[in-house]
Chain A
Amino acid sequence: MNLSYSEEYEAFRREVRAFLDKHWTEADREKAGEAPILAMPRKQTEREAAFRAKAVEAGYLYKSVPRAYGGSEQPFDAFKSTIIVEEFRAAKAPREIPGQGVAMLVPTLVEHGTPEQKQQFIAPTVTGDLVWCQGYSEPGAGSDLASLRTKGELDGDHWIVNGQKIWTSNASEADWMFALVRTEPDAPKHQGITYMLIEMATPGIEVRPLKQLNGGTDFTEVFLENVRVPKNSIVGARGEGWPVSRSTLKHERAFIGGTDYVRKTFDGLVMLAQFTNLRGEPAIKNDTIRTRLVELEARLIAAEFHGKRLLTMSGKKQDTGLAGLITKNATSELQHDLVDLALDIMGDCAALATGEEKAPFSGMFVDAYMWTFALLIGGGTTNIQRNIIAERGLGLPRDPATKR
């Protein structure tokens, strides 16, 4: 056990730092500020674009994307990836463009796309010139995603697509959507789906904002009515969209499992408890709250070092097995319990809404509390994760309803 990096990696860290010192100045850092927990994709500024181009050239961004398509094509190295994230974060430097285009579509295209598709889409996606949204969930197809009913029928050189997608983040800004569409109505449900790329400007697409429980509108519903999609605008073969889409969900899980946002929440919680008074003394002096805070810190540290254990395993190219499968539930539930404590620290002010200046920290923890649903439901609900842990991690029998 050795928590410091070997000289090879320390040298790499120095190299990354030197790169950042040279290409991302103090002024840039000041202007950038803290990155939000859930960053939404947006067009990059010229300054960011220039920096990212340099970072790609140096081999720090888009490492699994071939050079030919705007990536830096680096061999997989979990430790180097971690060092890059740590150093870029410390310098508040732009990392890969946030959003589902880079996180989900690009790996899918790298793996399954035709040379033309790779040529056409990957480079502009990693530069942020093309913004994507994801068309997976439907009102009737959530956890049972493969039961989706948006249908595509071939008519000459085009698919005619009809149906409805929901929980589409960023659809109003997106240029394109990668979607799952049922094209083989007579095939078993997992074998009748095609992975389709749909240009959002196509006639027949209507985007409606979806107002959430927390009052925000970060998601939309997308209605598709007789949308004409060129026949070759599919990834993988017709009817093979399900396996094609699987590689991308893996990526979403890996992202949500990280513990940095939980650490941020915990540090914020400690401040909240120090600066919020309950009946004449800081909440942190309240025995119940103090005890809960320490119990949560123990769980947080367990989660953080569990992450280091997983990193070590990936670094050694070992299968992370059960240890990897439990991270999403363990981390999202920890986040829930942290913000739940935050509400108790607020005392009676838990009744006040986010943005109300009379609430401690303007009620920001109330919004964090409501946002835990995104973590618990997104990327496979907690119950779906439980099935996965039980079946793949513990070897319990597969649920008959999900057998195929």
Chain B
Amino acid sequence: MDFGLSEDQQLLKATVARFLAEQCPTTRVREVMESDTGHDAQLWAGLVELGIASLPVPEEYGGLGSEFLDLSLVAEELGYAATPGPFLGAAMAVIGLVAGDAQELKARWLPETASGGSLGTVAIGEAESVWDPSGLKTSVSDGKLTGRKPLVPYAAVSDFILVGAREGEESGLWLVEAGASGMQIEPLSGNDMTRRLDDVVFNATPAVRVGGPDALARCLDAGLILISADAFGGARRVLEMTRDYSLEREQFGQPIGAFQSYKHQLADIAAEVEPCMALYWYAAHTVDAFPEQTAKHAALAKIRLGEMFNRVAFQCTELHGGIGFTWEYDLQLWFRRALFDKGFLGEAALHCDRVAEMAGW
């Protein structure tokens, strides 16, 4: 019985954390944030060198074939550091490819994603917050894909996009290469400038089938867990920042953290954040250990952590007083990332409905 991290996992987590502390301070985050693409090739290359792009790629394709929890721990640390860049979409694309049955596509793209030579992303959600595969309207016929995907991370800098669509009645994933005909990419103005979103329209765009409903479901579930891990990392950081600030900032002749009202609010926040770690850990663990439970636990993690991160980021900003409301103060980075984690891959109510239906309620 060991519901904890192995030594290798602790080492991986610490290595990523140390790299980000050195290479991705908030000054760097802000530089990338204010750049055109929001993607820092050098930072990404550094992360690839640490092995994060290899983790989800099976060994036969030049990857590490790690447990999914490993990748989730990386997501937590990326969230902790407010790391800008394409990690989430890229990881989901790899997981979709691996879960599919298109051997040629695997051989073509997986080794390159593992080595950092190629970057993938995913285009699943559709207008009116449709994220459940059953509601997708984007369709494929004769190898041509048509539809609109209003929230696609980093479409502009990706080499390929895995698109959730349907052919006839069956949903699945299809791969579209960058620059394919009939594809239009329009950048969106997002709250979280560290993770860019594009609106993508496909009009009879050539697409190759990656896999069926199962591959699409696994890709989505993985995304829900990774976004939950990101939210946990962000919440942990925001809590730490607020604790530190409360010891430093004095009003009425004492550190504000000595006031009981402040202490009680922070204690409640800690009591809300802390158990969420176990929620995302378990969801991640099911991917390898109990895959039949993943759909439910991935949804529960997203429901809880997406909302928790927003509540905590909001309260911690408020607890900072005026300075928290400035652009210059770094807390805003996580406040805005929380809004990405809340919305992307679907809101809590959608996933509550899904869990209720799974339970037969």
Contacts and interface: CB of A to CB of B under 8 A. Distances in A.
Interface of A: 1-6, 9, 79, 82, 270, 273-274, 284-285, 290-291, 293-295, 297-299, 301-306, 308-309, 311-313, 315-316, 322-323, 326, 329-330, 333, 383, 385-387, 389-391, 393-397, 399
18 contacts: A1-B2, A1-B281, A1-B285, A4-B1, A291-B352, A291-B353, A294-B300, A299-B275, A302-B275, A302-B279, A308-B278, A330-B274, A386-B263, A387-B267, A390-B266, A396-B246, A396-B258, A399-B260
Interface of B: 1-6, 67, 69, 243, 246-247, 254-255, 257-258, 260, 262-264, 266-268, 270-272, 274-279, 281-282, 285, 289, 297, 300-301, 303-304, 307, 348-349, 351-353, 355-356, 361
Given A301-B297, A311-B1, A396-B247, A326 B361 contact: no
B300 A298 contact: yes
B2 A306 contact: no
Given A293-B356, A387-B260, A298 B279 contact: yes
Given A1-B3, A9-B1, A312-B3, A391 B304 contact: no
A290 B243 contact: no
A330 B3 contact: no
B265 to A, nearest CB: 9
Nearest to A333: B271
Please list the 3 inter-chain residue pairs (A to B) with the smallest Cβ-Cβ separation, ordered nearest first. Answer: A305-B278, A390-B263, A389-B267
Contacts of A396: 243, 246-247, 257-258, 262-263, 266
B255 A299 contact: no
Given A293-B356, A383-B264, A309 B278 contact: yes
A312 B10 CA distance: 15
A293 B303 CA distance: 12
A1 B361 contact: no
B282 A305 contact: yes
A315 B352 CA distance: 35
B4 A316 contact: yes
B276 A397 contact: no
A387 B262 CA distance: 10
A1 B350 CA distance: 30
Contacts of A294: 300, 303, 351-352, 355-356
A305 B279 contact: yes
A293 B352 CA distance: 9
A145 B276 CA distance: 33
B9 to A, nearest CB: 8
Given A294-B355, A386-B267, A3 B243 contact: no
Nearest to B254: A397
B255 to A, nearest CB: 6
A303 B257 CA distance: 27
A3 B3 contact: yes
Contact of B4 (A302, A309, A385): A309
Contacts of B275: 299, 302-303, 305-306, 326, 330
A320 B246 CA distance: 24
B94 to A, nearest CB: 22
A131 B243 CA distance: 46
B249 to A, nearest CB: 12
B274 A326 contact: yes
B274 A295 contact: no
Given A308-B1, A326-B270, 11 more contacts: A1-B3, A6-B1, A284-B361, A290-B352, A293-B356, A295-B352, A309-B4, A312-B1, A330-B274, A389-B271, A395-B247
A302 B282 CA distance: 9
Nearest to A396: B257
Contact of B243 (A270, A291, A312, A395): A395
A315 B5 CA distance: 14
Given A295-B304, A298-B304, A391 B1 contact: no
A338 to B, nearest CB: 15
Nearest to B69: A1
Contacts of A391: 263
Contacts of B5: 1
Contacts of B4: 1, 309, 312-313, 316
A394 B304 CA distance: 23
Contacts of B285: 1, 3
Nearest to B361: A284
A370 B84 CA distance: 49
Contacts of A82: 1
A295 B1 contact: no
A274 B356 CA distance: 12
Contacts of A298: 279, 300-301, 303-304
A390 B264 contact: yes
Contacts of B268: 329, 386
A4 B289 CA distance: 11
Contacts of B69: 1
Contacts of A2: 1-2
Nearest to A308: B3
Given A290-B361, A293-B356, A389-B271, A1 B243 contact: no
A393 B352 contact: no
A394 B3 contact: no
B300 A297 contact: yes
A169 B212 CA distance: 62
A83 to B, nearest CB: 9
Contacts of A389: 267, 270-271
B349 A291 contact: yes
Contacts of B3: 1, 3, 305, 308-309, 311-312
B361 A293 contact: yes
Contacts of A322: 270, 274
B240 to A, nearest CB: 9
A299 B272 CA distance: 9
Contacts of B351: 294
B228 to A, nearest CB: 10
A312 B255 CA distance: 36
Contacts of A301: 279, 282, 297, 300
Nearest to B1: A5
Contacts of A306: 274-275, 277-278
